[in-house]
Amino acid sequence: MSNSVYGIPVNTITGQKTDLSHYAGKVLLVVNTASKCGLTPQYEGLEKLYQQKKQQGFEILGFPANNFNGQEPGSDDEISSFCSLNYDVSFPLFSKISVS
């Protein structure tokens, strides 16, 4: 187990293994996401916030999860496409996780 968030191993939405070390020194907003949730339209606000603040060292990290009433049933490819096509998401998305 890592001593900080930066050492936690994760996979990008495209399946590349990484950790969060390259976000060290930045302000992070780590968000659990789902594409079939009543809060899904918040992607739009998150993207707007990201565009306004990313040059100031602010990062939004999106982690899809299907743990809450099956509201994220898609594959990583489907999630990535959905976010791109519907909300033009450019902040980093990561592979689906389990939050249980």
> What are the pLDDT digits (tens) for 28-61?
999 999 999 888 889 999 999 999 999 999 999 9
Answer yes or no: is 64 within a domain: yes
Q: Is 83 noted as a catalytic residue in this protein?
A: no
Answer yes or no: is 98 within a domain: no
Checking if the pLDDT of 2 tops 70, the result is no
CATH number, domain of 45, equals 3.40.30.10
Answer yes or no: is 93 within a domain: no
Tokens of 40: 């899904």
Answer yes or no: is 20 within a domain: yes
Backbone angles phi, psi at 42, to 5 degrees: -65, -15
State the pLDDT at residue 87: 95
Answer yes or no: is 76 within a domain: yes
Q: Could you tell me the pTM of the whole model?
A: 0.91
Answer yes or no: is 39 within a domain: yes
| First and final C-alpha spacing in the chain | 17
- Residue 73 contacts by C-beta under 8 Å, 6 or more apart in sequence? 36, 66
How far out from the chain centre does Cα 71 lie?
15
- Give the integer Cα–Cα distance in Å for 49 and 23: 17
> What are the pLDDT digits (tens) for 11-31?
999 999 999 999 999 999 999
3-class secondary structure for 63-83?
A: EEECCCCCCCCCCHHHHHHHH
- Out of 37, 49, 65, 97, the active site residue is 37
Answer yes or no: is 28 within a domain: yes
Residue numbers of the domain that contains 31? 5-87
Count of structural domains within the chain: 1
